Each structure stands twice: as structure tokens, then as C-alpha cells.
Amino acid sequence: MNQDQLKQLVGRAALDYVTPGQIIGVGTGSTVDCFIDALAGSGIAVAGAVSSSERSTQRLRQHGIPVLDAAEVSGLTVYIDGADEIDSNGYMVKGGGAALTREKIVADLADKFVCIADASKLVQTLGKFPLPVEVIPMAAAQLARRFAALGGTATLRAGVVTDNSCHILDVTGLAITDPLAFEAEVTLWPGVVTVGVFARNKAQVCLLGGADGVRTLSF
Ligand SMILES: O=C(CO)[C@H](O)[C@H](O)COP(=O)(O)O
């Protein structure tokens, strides 16, 4: 199976976590696109979705799935999203699609984060994938110096303006051995909107697609 087929496989597997009549949280990315398509074709009628990006909102609406504002719900039972990296504790790096801030907001509303990913995303230590950090534009240079002090190299993602009118720094060269402490520290730096380490809002379940099918990891 190629990577696209694995994404479709885990997108379909995530339907097991969707209850008819519920409002669900929906993430962003090519794997989530597969989930949205699978949901639309499944006949499971959800009451609606809280979306983490303009991209997912468009796709949900194209399928006739109602999209609600985050402010209209007080909580969600489940949030389904992909990841750029996930470790054996359910800690993740996210934001490859530049949607990390809204993803963290919607994830925070949910009781359960179900991560859908192909097996290439499972890592021992987070940090090989360039870490996305959404930043206020005027802080970008200073934040790049702060990451350099940690041994990282921050590069402004060219031509990208987020759904929140901010910029993305991609940071290479970090080995994030303590994701909870790293997220807590970087979140405090002035000008950081969201760091793409999801530790406080980690996954409780990961549906990992590989040659043998879907493996369910629980954290
Ligand atoms: O965090 C994300 C978007 O901001 C995505 O979940 C992550 O980039 C994985 O994307 P894909 O499913 O396309 O591999």
C-alpha cells in the first residue's frame, strides 16, 4: 500500500470514533481530507463539525456537513486530526499545514484526540520534522535567535500567512526529549502564538496505518 492508500485506510478507521448526532472536531491535512471524504460517504449523520482551518471548512461544506463556530460549543467528545510526528506517549509535532493554532484550540475543546497517521509518522524522539511555530510577524527575528540558543535553526516559511494573519517559523535541529517542558517554555516567549508541539493536548489514541493494516495505539 502506498502512503495515499494508508491515509485513506486510517481516515476510514476513524469513523469508529464518530457517533451519529454528535458534533465532532475536525483537523487539517491530507489525512483529514480522507477522513472527511469517508465520513461523507459513510451515511453517519453528525450534527456538525468544528473545523480547524478554512481548508477543512470548505471540504466539509462541499460535502454538506454543517460547520459550527468553536464559540458555539462548550466541549466536544472527539477531535480527529493528523500529525507530522507522533511518539510512543502520544505527544506530537503538528503544523505542517500551518493550521496549528486552530488545531490546538479545537483539540483543547475535546475529551479525546484521535490521531490518524501513516506509520512513517511514528518516531522515537520529536524534532526531526521541522517544528512549525506560528508567530507574530514583528517577533520572528528575535524568536529565531531564541531557537538558535537552543541549537535550532529557524526559517520563515516563505509566502505563508496563516488563517490568523501570522507567520510560520520552521525550526530544524532540535531533539525534543521533554515535550511537555518544551511546549510550556516556548509558549511563554513573547510573540509566539502557538508552538507545534502538542503535549498538553496530546493524542489519547493513534490509528497508525502500515503494511499490516491499522494498528491502534492508546496512550
Ligand atoms: O498539523 C497538520 C496541519 O497543520 C497536519 O495534521 C499535519 O501536517 C499532517 O498532515 P498530513 O495528513 O497531510 O500528512
Q: Containing domain of residue 185, as a range?
A: 131-195
CA 9, CA 107: separation in Å to the nearest integer?
22
107 and 52 belong to one structural domain: yes
Nearest residue by C-alpha to atom 9 in ligand 1: 83
Q: Return phi, psi of residue 145, to 5°.
A: -65, -40
Ligand 1 atom with minimal separation from the 30 CA: 13
Where does ligand 1 bind, in terms of residues with CB under 6 Å?
A: 27-31, 81-84, 94-100, 103
pTM: 0.96
Instruction: Give nearest CA residue, ligand 1 atom 8.
Output: 96
Q: Which CATH number covers residue 168? A: 3.30.70.260
Once rounded to an integer, what is the mean pLDDT over residues 145-167? 97
Across-strand partners of 110?
76
Look over the chain and give the mean of its residue pLDDT values, rounded to a whole number. Answer: 97
Q: What does the pLDDT read at residue 112?
A: 98
Q: Which positions make up the binding site for substrate?
A: 28-31, 81-84, 94-97, 121
Number of domains, the chain: 2
Q: Are residues 191 and 211 in the same domain?
A: no
Is 134 one of the catalytic residues?
Answer: no
196-211 tens-digit pLDDT: 999 999 999 999 999 9
Pairing of strands 67-68, 48-51: parallel
Which is catalytic among the residues 85, 103, 134, 183?
103
- 456538525: which residue's cell? 48
